[in-house]
């Protein structure tokens, strides 16, 4: 497979940002997130409405539609067209989002039938050194990659300084509606700084690890609905009356197998800490609007001194941690009380990071976000990937499968641990290792 970048340009809002919105204030939670990019890639088959045109013409029309609709969408999401001014604000100067056009010398179906995980980064603009140098201060990067068959991949890479997963979904909803020309455009609500105003904070350490030194690698595992049902049945009765959610049971199995792999290398495995991201919007009183934009998430910690926990024990601990966080902390992320709680949490995490006897896993779940509904005007995506593994080790990212009833898990571990983890019988009894991503789809 040969990848080639064809063009790089900036897309500015179609209407200039009003003077009163030229300075966008970050929230306290935005402040503590490092300026890293997330990368979500959507794979689409060739446009069936353009069969009479050449493949080149199809792709050019799709690219033009994406750029025009992006320009209109940035009018509402104006901070995404700005530049980071300082630690507490974005200058909404309409410099624009960065848009890359590329091509790859293979067909989309051939790639999906046997996806090569190590090549996925080439579909994202943040892998190209020249692009990242030119767009180093951009808040949003987009890459359209054309396959030889006319299929395309669209990578959406927002800065984590002002967007979490739910914010990205709101942005995509607005962009896709504008692109296809029908539906209700999502108007964002920028309320983060009114809840938790920015503060003078010490420089936050960049969490990026040296992957060359660490030799971390990412692997993909798919849990289909029948396997998840079997896994739940296997633990039925030990968890309690309430059946575990798909995310709980899958995450518990991954943690158990990952800890076993780690222990087989180090022989002595210390306490476990799970850092699990949770959306604050629906857990505040009253709940925040779904179209609230910003980093409105927090990571609650689950501790365990016992590295030999069974799946039902892990589920119980995760559930207990989430309930405690939701009931006692989620609604406190406001004003001075929120500032105090954030400071205490950061201090606690800083002390944990210094300890050499603990093992910390991070988990982010994008499940239940209907990303497979994102239609720019030529159908829904055939496959979606999310790659955040450039920044963290021991990272678990969970996403829904295209069918909506299964889970794709993207697991990043140190190379030696992964070699053991990916061969775990307990894992492979319920998960498929990097199966085909090609699913035949009918169009309505």
Domain-located, residue 275: yes
118: containing domain = 3-195
How far from the centroid of its chain's Cα atoms is residue 244's Cα?
Answer: 23
Task: Looking at the structure, tell me whether residues 90 and 221 fall in a common domain.
Answer: no
Task: Looking at the structure, tell me whether residues 145 and 230 fall in a common domain.
Answer: no
Q: How far apart are CA 216 and CA 393, in angstroms?
A: 7
Task: Looking at the structure, tell me whether residues 250 and 151 fall in a common domain.
Answer: no
Q: How far apart are CA 8 and CA 3, in angstroms?
A: 15
User: Of 147, 169, 195, which marks where a domain is finished?
Assistant: 195
Cβ 102 vs Cβ 6: under 8 Å: yes
Both tokens assigned to 9: 């340009």
Domain-located, residue 227: yes
Task: Looking at the structure, tell me whether residues 303 and 237 fall in a common domain.
Answer: yes
Task: Looking at the structure, tell me whether residues 97 and 230 fall in a common domain.
Answer: no
Residue whose structure tokens are 């406190």? 332
DSSP reduced 3-state for 399? strand
DSSP reduced 3-state for 110? helix
Domain-located, residue 51: yes
Task: Looking at the structure, tell me whether residues 230 and 191 fall in a common domain.
Answer: no
User: Of 161, 195, 229, which marks where a domain is finished?
Assistant: 195
Q: How far apart are CA 396 and CA 360, in angstroms?
A: 11
Domain-located, residue 440: no
Task: Looking at the structure, tell me whether residues 180 and 145 fall in a common domain.
Answer: yes
Q: How far apart are CA 340 and CA 313, in angstroms?
A: 32
pTM beyond cutoff 0.95:
no
Helix ranges restricted to H, 329-414: 335-354
Cβ 251 vs Cβ 396: under 8 Å: yes
Residues carrying an active site annotation: 160, 375
Q: How far apart are CA 227 and CA 429, in angstroms?
A: 8
Q: How many structural domains does the chain have?
A: 2
- CATH number, domain of 262, equals 3.30.559.10
Task: Looking at the structure, tell me whether residues 95 and 64 fall in a common domain.
Answer: yes
Domain-located, residue 381: no
Both tokens assigned to 408: 């794709």
The vertex-86 CA angle with 84 and 87, nearest 5°, equals 105
Helix ranges restricted to H, 165-299: 165-180, 192-195, 211-214, 225-235, 246-266
Buried-state track 37-50, b at ≥16 Cβ within 10 A, e below 16: bbbbbbbbbbbeeb
Q: Indicate the pairing of strand 383-386 with strand 297-304.
A: unpaired
Residue whose structure tokens are 């006897």? 357
Task: Looking at the structure, tell me whether residues 174 and 309 fall in a common domain.
Answer: no
Domain-located, residue 225: yes
Q: Indicate the pairing of strand 23-25 with strand 89-91.
A: antiparallel
Contacts of 207 (CB under 8 A, 6+ apart): 34, 36, 391, 392
Task: Looking at the structure, tell me whether residues 291 and 409 fall in a common domain.
Answer: yes
Domain-located, residue 85: yes
Task: Looking at the structure, tell me whether residues 252 and 188 fall in a common domain.
Answer: no
Average pLDDT for runs of 10 along the chain of length 444: 94 97 96 90 83 81 97 98 93 96 96 93 90 88 96 96 95 97 94 92 48 74 96 77 89 94 79 92 94 95 81 92 94 93 89 82 95 96 82 89 95 95 96 91 44
User: Of 147, 167, 195, which marks where a domain is finished?
Assistant: 195
pLDDT of residue 437: 95
Q: How far apart are CA 426 and CA 444, in angstroms?
A: 40
Cβ 8 vs Cβ 83: under 8 Å: no
Domain-located, residue 114: yes
Contacts of 48 (CB under 8 A, 6+ apart): 378, 379, 443
Task: Looking at the structure, tell me whether residues 189 and 227 fall in a common domain.
Answer: no
């Amino acid at each position: 497979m040969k990848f080639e970048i064809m063009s790089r340009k900036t897309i500015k809002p179609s209407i200039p940002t009003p003077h009163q919105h030229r300075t966008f204030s970050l929230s306290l939670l935005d402040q503590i997130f490092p300026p890293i990019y997330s990368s979500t890639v959507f794979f689409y088959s060739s446009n069936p409405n353009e069969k009479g045109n050449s493949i080149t013409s199809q792709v050019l029309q799709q690219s033009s539609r994406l750029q025009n609709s992006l320009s209109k969408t940035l009018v509402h999401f104006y901070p995404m067209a700005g530049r980071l001014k300082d630690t507490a604000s974005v200058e909404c100067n309409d410099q624009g989002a960065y848009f890359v056009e590329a091509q790859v010398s293979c067909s989309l179906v051939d790639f999906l039938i046997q996806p090569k995980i190590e090549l996925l980064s080439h579909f994202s603009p943040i892998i190209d050194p020249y692009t990242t140098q030119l767009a180093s201060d951009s808040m949003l990067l987009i890459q359209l990659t054309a396959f030889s068959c006319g299929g395309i991949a669209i990578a959406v890479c927002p800065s984590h300084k002002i967007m979490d997963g739910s914010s990205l979904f709101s942005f995509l909803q607005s962009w896709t509606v504008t692109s296809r020309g029908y539906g209700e455009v999502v108007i964002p609500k920028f309320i983060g700084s009114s809840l938790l105003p920015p503060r003078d904070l010490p420089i936050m350490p960049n969490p990026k690890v040296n992957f060359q030194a660490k030799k971390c690698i990412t692997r993909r595992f798919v849990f289909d609905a029948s396997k998840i049902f079997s896994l739940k049945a296997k633990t039925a009765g030990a968890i309690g009356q309430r059946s575990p959610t798909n995310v709980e049971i899958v995450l518990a199995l991954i943690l158990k197998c990952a800890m076993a792999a780690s222990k087989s290398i180090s022989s002595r495995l210390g306490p476990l800490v799970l850092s699990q991201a949770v959306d604050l919007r629906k857990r505040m009183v009253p709940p925040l609007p779904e179209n609230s934009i910003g980093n409105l998430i927090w990571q609650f910690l689950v501790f365990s001194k016992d590295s030999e926990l069974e799946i039902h024990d892990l589920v119980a601990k995760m559930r207990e941690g989430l309930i405690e966080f939701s009931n006692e902390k989620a609604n406190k992320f406001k004003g001075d009380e929120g500032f105090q709680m954030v400071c205490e949490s950061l201090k606690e995490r800083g002390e944990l990071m210094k300890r050499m006897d603990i093992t910390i896993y991070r988990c982010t779940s994008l499940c239940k976000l209907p990303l497979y509904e994102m239609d720019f005007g030529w159908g829904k995506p055939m496959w979606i990937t999310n790659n955040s593994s450039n920044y963290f080790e021991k990272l678990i990212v969970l996403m829904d499968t295209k069918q909506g009833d299964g889970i794709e898990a993207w697991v990043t571990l140190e190379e030696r641990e992964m070699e053991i983890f990916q061969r775990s019988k307990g894992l492979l009894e319920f998960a498929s290792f990097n199966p085909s991503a090609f699913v035949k789809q009918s169009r309505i």
